[in-house]
Amino acid sequence: MRLEDETALITGAASGIGKATSLRFAEEGAEVIVTDINSDEGPKIADEIDEAGGDATFYELDVTDADRFDELVADVYDEHGLDILVNNAGTGHPSAYVEETDTSMRDFVMDVNIKGVWNGCHAALPHLKEQGSGSIVNVGSLASIFGLPKQAAYSLSKGAVLNFTRAVAAEAGPKGVRANTVCPGFTDTPLLDQFLAAADDPEEARQKLREDYPLKRLGEPEEIANCILFLASDEASWVTGHGLVVDGGYRTS
């Protein structure tokens, strides 16, 4: 098993890519620290892992709360150890031109998508550097690479995640810590459902998205989880500062 005897903390783990990653990591032998602001669904993921013979613990976490993130990581490190951090928690916003986007919505997206990733790295890096090893995987987006129309705040935040990851990789590499970003295309998650709900015909919008990809389908959370697993594991031991695009061939179309 690729993550045997390792502890992984995953944010936004109650649904979508975070849930799939938690389950996949557990299959590979990791002790999984399941964190999410959703205290109803989060424990169910930890229970599912435990019932399958794995080892998981749930902690409620709002990633925008820097002090709480610091405290939680310190507690996890002391009680469980820490080898892998997956900064997956993120949010989107309704489609709107820049001038139509409310400042409050912009700030919310920045708080979750940028500050949340910053807070996770800020909390974990001292411990990972001290032990001389560790892997951080931040979840970006195709919007880390392309500016998406009517998704300017989201694109701004996800572009920042990718470049921030490169900075972390440059800083932490000499201490034995790797940092990478996975950049998924549209993936079939509850967040995508929320995005499509604003369309006049959500199913028609979903089909149009499918047609944008050479593989003619959306990504599955488990497919993104497999890529996060690779970046987190020793199989990617000489990969750092990288943005792994997982997009069903979108960039070739």
Encoded tokens for 36: 């999410």
Domain of 157 in residue numbering reads as: 7-186+220-242
**3-class secondary structure, 181:** strand
Domain CATH for 64: 3.40.50.720
Catalytic annotation on 213? Answer: no
For every one of its 253 residues, what pLDDT tens digit does the chain have, with 9 covering 90 and above? Answer: 999 999 999 999 999 999 999 999 999 999 999 999 999 999 999 999 999 999 999 999 999 999 999 999 999 999 999 999 999 999 988 888 999 999 999 999 999 999 999 999 999 999 999 999 999 999 999 989 989 888 899 999 999 999 999 999 999 999 999 999 999 988 887 777 777 666 777 788 788 778 888 888 888 999 999 999 999 999 999 999 999 999 988 766 5
> Does a structural domain hold residue 207?
no
> Does a structural domain hold residue 226?
yes
104-119 burial string, b = 16+ CB within 10 Å, else e? eebeebbbbbbbbbbb
Catalytic residue among 77, 154, 213, 250: 154
> Does a structural domain hold residue 208?
no
> Does a structural domain hold residue 197?
no
How far apart, in whole angstroms, are the C-alpha atoms of residue 169 and residue 180? 7
DSSP 5: T
Looking at the structure of the chain, the number of domains it has is 1
Radius of gyration of the chain (CA): 17
Q: What is the pTM (predicted TM-score) of this model?
A: 0.93
* C-alpha 117 chain-centroid distance: 9
Amino acid making up residue 39 = S
Task: Name the strand (E) or helix (H) holding 165.
Answer: helix 152-172
How far apart, in whole angstroms, are the C-alpha atoms of residue 8 and residue 22? 9
pLDDT of residue 253: 54
> Does a structural domain hold residue 131?
yes
